[in-house]
Chains A and B, each alone.
Chain A
Amino acid sequence: MRIDPVFLDGSDAYQPPVPGTVGAGGSGSCKAGAPGPGTRFELLTAHPPVAGARLAGLAWRTAAGSREATEGEVLQSKTTITGRHFGVGPGDDVLVDQHVRLIDGAGDLVDEAVTAWQAARSELPGPEKTTDEIASPEWGALLAGRLAADPAFASSTATFDGSIGLVSRGSDGTTGVEFRIYRGSIIETGRKTLDGPTYAIEADALTWAELITGRYDDYVRFAARSRFTVRGSGFQYLRLSKTTRIMIWHARTMRQEARNG
């Protein structure tokens, strides 16, 4: 087992996400009006991901520790793009998923939501397959190509006969990819394998975006805080601990290589 600089802290030429792409963050201040759903809506949708984007969806929830903003309170809106879907909107539009958190003066979370925005393609950088739809079958196919060429992955799965799933919870349900593996080889990659995954690693789209595009590989931190959960065989998940780390390393590295051009 080796600690790789990319694994550790991204110190080798880490490049942050380009504005308008997955992982890119934004922030701005906003002032709360009279308490109620209207104010909540205004605050959560105050900062679109790119100029001219139109709101296409909003899923809000009352998270643990959140509260209603008081009238006149100035909040910081922190946004993160978590997905981009080209070719699904009318015309040339792109559907952009964005997570938004409202933070008060003490740094505590007041409210959060997942929003979807319809944006003109001309306002966004072009498609980026390594991050636009993390944990989708298309993204998984890219990852599988890299894993197939890595002897460390083959070695770590040499005693495994089953499927590993990666699942992301987005604004409009979940997307996922499954890798059917036999004796170190990936024999199929797709949305579903015949018997389903032996185990599946699941997180919300924000967690995936932060893990794949962040400077640091925070898998251990996120898992410790239950931002990642596992369905299926926990035993096999633990047994293939190194496999998980190799998959994440490749997912982060292919994103970084694409970013570096």
Chain B
Amino acid sequence: MGSADYLDIDGRLGFVETYGTGRPVLCVHTAGQHGFQYRYAARAIAQRGFRAIVVDLPGHGRSEPAVETPVSDLSWYGDWCIKVLRELAVERPYLLGCSIGGKIVLDMATKIPAELAGVVSMAAYGQRRNRPGRSERPWGLEDSSSPSNRERSFYGHAGLVGRSVSPEVTQMIAEMHSREDWQITVPDQTGWARQDIWADLPKITCPAYLVVGEDDFGVPVDRVRATAARIPGARVAQLPGIGHYPMEELPDFADYFVRWVEELAADAVR
């Protein structure tokens, strides 16, 4: 059984779920989505001896929007997540994030590496996607310019799922994801494209695992490897048949996570 709470952070309420009582793991979702993406994984992780803390970033899911919107700076989300950890008095957590969540936990790891047990960043890398100016897309926030968002979201998310995943699971992922609010998703995507923590990656001195699905056409593995090469001792895992959402696509995701964490713990001892 999990518990949920609203935390008052910077004058706005942020929604946080917690499962289990063991080693803390902060779980961060993808662009436009919210903590539901960990609805199976968080409980399974908790059953393996962890305290899974699942956040809804401001403006997502059940969290109130930030005071200043839209938010298209992933570093701002990273600072917000650090405030969540402080508010909950969490000590030496693991960080787990996917897509923008993966970039957010990398950002956090550059800022507070000594406070972390480790970081697992999925479907993310530390470089800017395009040259400056290419990803601004201000028209995306006008409803009138962006028709059939739900259909486009449905098919787009389905296309990002790995080829080993069953039609039933793909259908569920696409249906759940297509409920997103594009007023939130588009700034998230802008933040994804803009983020550039390349120069700060060597500051990540905590154990780090970078995970990428082999069917994730949005995240080139060479970029992930290049990112890992700048983080001391970082590991890389490629997941055959998996796409952009490992925590939703892998039925035994918790086992993967435990294995990654055990490897990181062994690295920390060495």
Nearest CB in chain B to that of A218: its residue: B159
CB pair A3 B163 closer than 8 Å: no
Known pairs A3-B170, A4-B167; A221 contacts B217 (CB<8 A) = yes
With a 10 A CB-CB cut-off, give which of A1, A3, A225, A238 has the most chain B CB atoms.
A3
- Give the residues in chain B near A238, CB-CB below 8 Å: 146-148, 152
- Interface residue? A216 (CB, 8 A): yes
Residues facing B in A200-233 (CB within 8 A) are 216, 219-221, 224-225
Known pairs A221-B217, A241-B155; A3 contacts B148 (CB<8 A) = no
The number of chain B residues touching the other chain, given as a range, is: 20 to 34
CB pair B167 A219 closer than 8 Å: no
- Give the residues in chain A near B159, CB-CB below 8 Å: 219-221, 224
Known pairs A4-B167, A8-B167; A220 contacts B158 (CB<8 A) = yes
Neighbour of A235 across the interface among B145, B167, B170, CB < 8 A: B145
- Interface residue? A239 (CB, 8 A): yes
- Interface residue? A5 (CB, 8 A): yes
Residues facing A in B126-181 (CB within 8 A) are 145-148, 151-152, 154-156, 158-160, 163, 167, 170-171, 174-175, 178
The number of chain A residues touching the other chain, given as a range, is: 20 to 34
**B179 nearest CB across to chain A (Å):** 12
- Give the residues in chain A near B178, CB-CB below 8 Å: 1
The 5 residue pairs across chains A and B that have the minimum distance between CB atoms: A220-B159, A239-B147, A3-B171, A241-B151, A242-B151
Interface residues in chain B, defined as those with a beta carbon under 8 Å from any beta carbon in chain A: 145-148, 151-152, 154-156, 158-160, 163, 167, 170-171, 174-175, 178, 217-218
Please name 16 further chain A to chain B contacts, defined as beta carbons within 8 Å, in addition to the given A1-B175, A9-B167, sorted by A numbering: A2-B171, A3-B158, A3-B171, A4-B167, A216-B163, A220-B155, A220-B158, A220-B159, A220-B160, A224-B218, A238-B146, A238-B152, A241-B148, A241-B155, A242-B151, A242-B155
